[in-house]
Amino acid sequence: MAVAITNTHTIGIIGGGRSGSAMLRFLLKTNVAKVVFVMDIEPNAPGMVEARNHNISVFTKLPDALKQPLPDYIFAVSSDSEMDELLKQTLKGTPTRIINQSTSRMIVELVEDNRTQIQLGVGEAVNAIKKELLTTLTASQGLTYRISNMMASMQMLALNASIEAAKVGHAGKGFAVVAENMTKSVESVRKLTQEIEDVNKTLTTISGEIESVLVLLK
């Protein structure tokens, strides 16, 4: 079966502030766009720092950023009238398309709103799962506690039965059998309790992992 080939568009971002940084993060997650530069007059703007972290070229002067080869699109996320005019003049007659400031910021707002909605939806679902796990864990721990108390009572009864059997000798043979069977039952229940405790530990681990996911979603 033939595999569809998707063209990768080269992108330049003008503006490394909050909006430019949000645009960069969004484009870094796509397979159809490659950011080739970020330009901002402030070298330590968030978008500039993030671009350097991803080995993307950064510029503080527009003429330097617009040297050949030009990208397919330029998102003017943050610009002024002089920069707009310089963009138009420099790119006149080239195939590079300029996405103006208002359109770029609208895209950023839409992306941020979509991301927020997804985070809220996933967060609610994960919280519901965590609540169910904690409810199950609490019930399971309570069950383990009650079983442990029952085992303690059974062990005491088995001990008393053994003592009574020893007192009456051969006539207490029935007590000895009961005591032996009770001891075996206690051991079986002890193994079951251990298995339940192992499940509780797993539930606790999963709950911790879910908490980590919730932190990442914030």
User: pLDDT tens digit string along 111-143?
Assistant: 676 666 766 766 776 777 777 777 777 777 776
pLDDT over threshold 50, residue 28: yes
| Whole-angstrom distance, CA of residue 38 vs CA of residue 27 | 12
Q: What is the pLDDT of residue 138?
A: 76
Q: How confident is the model at residue 55 (pLDDT cuts 50, 70, 90)?
A: very high
81 burial (CB, 10 Å; 0-12 / 13-18 / 19+) is: exposed
Entry pTM: 0.53
Q: How confident is the model at residue 54 (pLDDT cuts 50, 70, 90)?
A: very high
